[in-house]
Amino acid sequence: MKKVLVLGAGQLARMMALAGAPLNIDVVAYDVTSGQVVHPLTLAPVLSGLDNAIRYADVITAEFEHVPHDVLDACEASGKLKPGAAAIKAGGDRRIEKALLDQAGVANARYQLINAETDLVAASQHIGLPLVLKSSLGGYDGKGQWRLKTADQIPAVWQDIAAFLADAPAQSIVAEAFVPFQREVSLIGARNQAGDTAIYPLTENVHTDGVLSRSLALETQGDLQQQAEGMFNAVAETLGYVGVLAIEFFDVNGTLLVNEIAPRVHNSGHWTQQGADTCQFENHLRAVCDLPLGNTKAIRSTVMINILGEDTVPTDVLALPGCHIHWYGKEKRAGRKMGHINVTAASHNELVQTLDTLAQHLPSDSFPVVRLS
Ligand code: AMP
């Protein structure tokens, strides 16, 4: 029995625990806020304190990138942390992430670091307008972002940013060229210690107010898949990466630009639980436990729909063929990721029909993007 400690005690640790059980991999979760090791499903305390947690584990991994650096450094020093601290830190800080993308030589939006109003003026001239301004730390799901469309907005936008920075002195701002993309896609793949990789088909993602609503596993993407895999390999090799790595891209007329990386299993890979031969959670555990990687082939047409801010859906949904609900056992809060529904079908056309039926059962304000038709 391998003992895997996950830094973070949310739904990703929970789904890793569920995927690990058949392989005799015992997953426990370290709640970085309380300093307790907990059972990933019941959240019952198992152990207390980081030192005990590190001693207990055979392997340590993370389910989120905003782990305090002292915790990451202590885990790294034990030699058990996979992926390594550098990869996790890159996922949690856009400054490190952008430097990594440049080092790996992968295409991403032009950028400049902003620490003063004069930087904003310079960026608007060098990169051009519009600009997307993002907080370097803790900004995810569209939070901590501003748009600068015209030069006359600079004083007002800077005032807003200056107030934000005054409250969060460790933050700075990355100004990025606005990318006129047609759609957003992501690639999930696993890499093991030996450098073998297992990569899933690209997923097309739709966000609502900056939060993922729907992910569709794409079939036969040819050139696009190749571009994405090339960039995945470049980033993973640069980091000496071990585990599942997710990369989000902008698709601009068939050319991919990296938006951001997530050094972990990812919401846009949840479809693999029903739609792929081996799910991302199992492949992450296989990679970090140095086991052979599982087949990543899509085995049917699949979509994932996020359940946001709702703790129930009509039970009729379970009667629809191909609909699989995954709850996270969390307390209801507006907009919170509470669970997801994986919808599978034998063909794309059948999937379109099932989603039409599913949409009739779900409240459209909480589920704005269900239909593919
Ligand atoms: P992020 O937190 O970086 O993933 O950004 C949240 C969302 O903002 C993305 O999913 C995009 O829809 C949008 N966005 C982020 N960066 C850019 C950009 N450089 N150009 C256009 N849209 C962007």
> Are 362 and 316 within 8 A, CB to CB?
no
* Burial of 163 from C-beta contacts in 10 A (0-12 / 13-18 / 19+): exposed
Q: Looking at this protein, which amino acid is placed at residue 251?
A: D
Q: How far is the CA of 54 from the centre of ligand 1 (A)?
A: 36
Atom of ligand 1 minimally distant from the CA of 134: 3
**95, two tokens:** 């400054």
pLDDT < 70 positions in the chain? 138-143
Q: How far is the CA of 259 from the centre of ligand 1 (A)?
A: 7
Q: How far is the CA of 249 from the centre of ligand 1 (A)?
A: 10
Residue 361 to residue 201: CA distance in whole angstroms: 29
Per-residue pLDDT at 140: 47
Atom of ligand 1 minimally distant from the CA of 143: 2
Distance of CA 33 to the CA centre of its chain: 20
Per-residue pLDDT at 171: 87
Per-residue pLDDT at 138: 65
Residue 155 to residue 159: CA distance in whole angstroms: 6
Atom of ligand 1 minimally distant from the CA of 259: 3
Superfamily of domain 183-361: ATP-grasp fold, B domain (3.30.470.20)
Q: Whose CA is nearest to atom 19 of ligand 1?
A: 178
Pocket test of ligand 1: the residue of 259, 260, 266 to mutate, having most ligand atoms within 8 Å of its CB, is 259
**277, two tokens:** 């031969």
Q: Looking at this protein, which amino acid is placed at residue 334?
A: A
Query: Quick one: which of 93, 139, 131 has its CA closest to 110?
Result: 131
Per-residue pLDDT at 128: 97
Q: Whose CA is nearest to atom 5 of ligand 1?
A: 142
Pocket test of ligand 1: the residue of 101, 132, 268 to mutate, having most ligand atoms within 8 Å of its CB, is 132
DSSP 265-295: --GGGTTHHHHBSS-HHHHHHHHHTT-PPPP
> Which residues does 217 contact at the CB level (< 8 Å), separation at least 6?
200, 201, 202, 203, 271, 272, 275, 276, 298, 301, 302, 303
> What is the domain partition of the chain in residue ranges?
2-81, 110-177, 183-361
> Are 53 and 45 within 8 A, CB to CB?
no
Determine the topology of domain 110-177 in CATH: Dna Ligase; domain 1 (3.30.1490)
Atom of ligand 1 minimally distant from the CA of 179: 20
Q: How far is the CA of 209 from the centre of ligand 1 (A)?
A: 11
Please write the tens of the pLDDT for every residue from 245-296: 999 999 999 999 999 999 999 999 999 999 999 999 999 999 999 999 999 9
Residue with tokens 């898949």: 225
Buried b (16+ CB within 10 A) or exposed e, 60-70: bbbbbbbbeee
Q: Looking at this protein, which amino acid is placed at residue 79?
A: G
Q: How far is the CA of 256 from the centre of ligand 1 (A)?
A: 14
Q: How many CB atoms lie within 10 A of CB 16?
A: 28
Q: Does the structural domain 2-81 have CATH classification 1.10.3720.10?
A: no
Please write the tens of the pLDDT for every residue from 104-156: 999 999 999 999 999 999 999 999 999 999 999 865 445 578 999 999 999 99
Per-residue pLDDT at 221: 77
Residue with tokens 């191909």: 322
Q: How far is the CA of 185 from the centre of ligand 1 (A)?
A: 12
Q: Looking at this protein, which amino acid is placed at residue 161?
A: I
Residue with tokens 């919808």: 343
Q: How far is the CA of 252 from the centre of ligand 1 (A)?
A: 13
Q: How far is the CA of 176 from the centre of ligand 1 (A)?
A: 9
> Which residues does 60 contact at the CB level (< 8 Å), separation at least 6?
4, 5, 6, 7, 54, 75, 78, 80, 81, 82
> Which residues does 251 contact at the CB level (< 8 Å), separation at least 6?
181, 182, 183, 184, 185, 224
Q: Whose CA is nearest to atom 1 of ligand 1?
A: 142
Q: How far is the CA of 312 from the centre of ligand 1 (A)?
A: 30
Residue 289 to residue 358: CA distance in whole angstroms: 38
Q: Whose CA is nearest to atom 11 of ligand 1?
A: 210
**144, two tokens:** 């901590």
Residue with tokens 């896609």: 185
The sheet carrying 111-114 orders its strands as 111-114, 173-177, 131-135, 145-148
Residues with CB under 6 A from ligand 1: 109, 132, 134, 139-140, 142, 176, 178-179, 184, 207, 210, 259-260
**259, two tokens:** 């938006």
Task: Find residue 199's DSSP bridge partners.
Answer: 189
Cα torsion angle, 132, 136, 140, 143, sign: negative
